[in-house]
Amino acid sequence: MDVHVTRSAVEGTARAPPSKSYTHRALLAAGYSDGATVASPLVSADTRATARAVTAFGGSVDPVPEEWNSETDAVEVDGFDGRPVVPDDVIDCGNSGTTTRLVTGTAALGDGGTVLTGDASLRSRPQGPLLDALSELGVRAESTRGNGQAPLVVFGPLSGGDVAIPGDVSSQYVTALLMAGAVTDDGVEVSLTTELKSAPYVDITLELLADFGVTADPVGSETADGAAGFSVPGGQTYAPEDGRYAVPGDFSSISYLVAAGAVAADPDGAVRIEGARPSAQGDAAIVEIAELMGAAVEWDREAGVIAVERSALSGIEVDVGDTPDLLPTIAALGAVADGDTRITNCEHVRYKETDRVSAMAEELERLGAETTEEPDTLTVHGSESDLRGATVDGRADHRIVMALAVAALAAEGTTTIRGGEHVDVSFPTFFETMADLGARVEREA
């Protein structure tokens, strides 16, 4: 689907969608339980994939994922109580790397073999370190093509043990081991062989596990940042208080609304974002980043409301080692700001739905931005950029599509974004939300 976004001013109130990261973990945690309600889930293609995986392992989800819609305010999960069955068929994870990694850990618990695959993009993403870790724990875990990428074959059962794993490729490997390790007989002790990237995402996992009554701890640190590893005792039971877990708002999605306000809010108005309550989400850093760039931002943490006014922005340096999903948003802000916006520690951002470093560099250049791309750094030269409408490719990546839409609000004329339908992965109502705020948006079937 092509989406046409014309330069326009925005103002008004929008509600943040529920967190994709929390929804994935909550659905799987409910699957590990003997039953739980997941309230306010994000309804998206990726979270449906996780729900289908829960069903494949012997749980059930009501309503079924195919019937989820914007009116779905809660999902009832009848879990498999820590003992997944061997699926009757291949598990298709679609485009969801989070689903693939988290349920690979679940597959390791089964007394037999599980095959996991997905679309072409997913089959290009690295899974090797997780497969190696499971093999070290006595599980047969292989890539069918021998390249560390899906399709994957996993034969359990996993009983627990000690394992070493790199932390600089994906924090989701750690999450998979911790979530599965809690229901093993012996528990799992994870040692990190490299510094952990995206540490806040493991903090999300630790927070959610605690909410489900599961103990898991970083080793050598109070939080995931700086931890030498993680420890999760075995024999635990997943059970949220009162059998219910409510998903918080998503700061990765909030980032696009914050950026839209900063670059395109009506001079006499502001963009207000509801559902922005504090949590372990590292992407809440977008508030501070926008402020450092000069945006007028107010965050009422108790009410969970952020207000953003259009401001003169200046380039800064941002390390995205812990917040990789913010790179596209920051790059879009940098294209509007004066001076250079230098995004560092971003090599791992190349291993997402697409190489997001190259994608943002190349697509922003189509809009008239000047960029410099290095292996671990993306610099956007705002003072040398003159944004004008053009046809850009969303690269079948929801975050690229939304970030380009933000840049398009500040570009002269109309920008056509190809692949606009991919926002369904994390923010299905993104373009409706932007239109409600006053953005001039037209969509083609």
Q: Is the dihedral of CA 305, 310, 312, 313 positive or negative?
A: positive
Whether residue 197 is annotated as binding a ligand: the answer is no
Whether residue 123 is annotated as binding a ligand: the answer is no
Catalytic residue (one of 78, 250, 283, 325): 325
Q: DSSP letters along 218-267, please?
A: EESSSSSTT-SEEEE-SS-----GGGEEEPPBPHHHHHHHHHHHHHHB-T
Whether residue 170 is annotated as binding a ligand: the answer is yes
Instruction: Return the SS3 of 398.
Output: helix
Instruction: Return the SS3 of 343.
Output: strand
DSSP label at residue 425: G
Whether residue 25 is annotated as binding a ligand: the answer is yes
Whether residue 96 is annotated as binding a ligand: the answer is no
Burial (Cβ within 10 Å: 0-12, 13-18, ≥19) of residue 207: middle
Whether residue 171 is annotated as binding a ligand: the answer is yes
Cβ atoms of residues 431 and 421 within 8 Å: no
Q: Which two tokens stand for residue 97?
A: 């790397």
Whether residue 325 is annotated as binding a ligand: the answer is yes
Rounded CA separation 258/290 (Å): 8
**Cβ neighbours of 375 (radius 10 Å):** 8
Nearest to 367 by CA among 331, 315, 396, 341: 331
Q: Which two tokens stand for residue 143?
A: 């890539």
Nearest to 398 by CA among 358, 428, 441: 428
Whether residue 83 is annotated as binding a ligand: the answer is no
CA angle 321–290–98, rounded 5-degree value:
40
Rounded CA separation 66/60 (Å): 13
Query: Is 325 considered catalytic here?
Result: yes
Nearest to 2 by CA among 394, 427, 429: 394
Whether residue 244 is annotated as binding a ligand: the answer is no
Q: Which two tokens stand for residue 387?
A: 């944004």
Whether residue 198 is annotated as binding a ligand: the answer is yes
Whether residue 356 is annotated as binding a ligand: the answer is yes
Whether residue 19 is annotated as binding a ligand: the answer is no
Q: Which two tokens stand for residue 312?
A: 């003169």
Whether residue 121 is annotated as binding a ligand: the answer is no
Binding site, annotated residues for 3-phosphoshikimate? 20-21, 25, 170-172, 198, 325, 352
Binding site, annotated residues? 20-21, 25, 97, 125, 170-172, 198, 325, 352, 356, 399
Residues serving a catalytic function are 325
Binding site, annotated residues for phosphoenolpyruvate? 20, 97, 125, 172, 356, 399
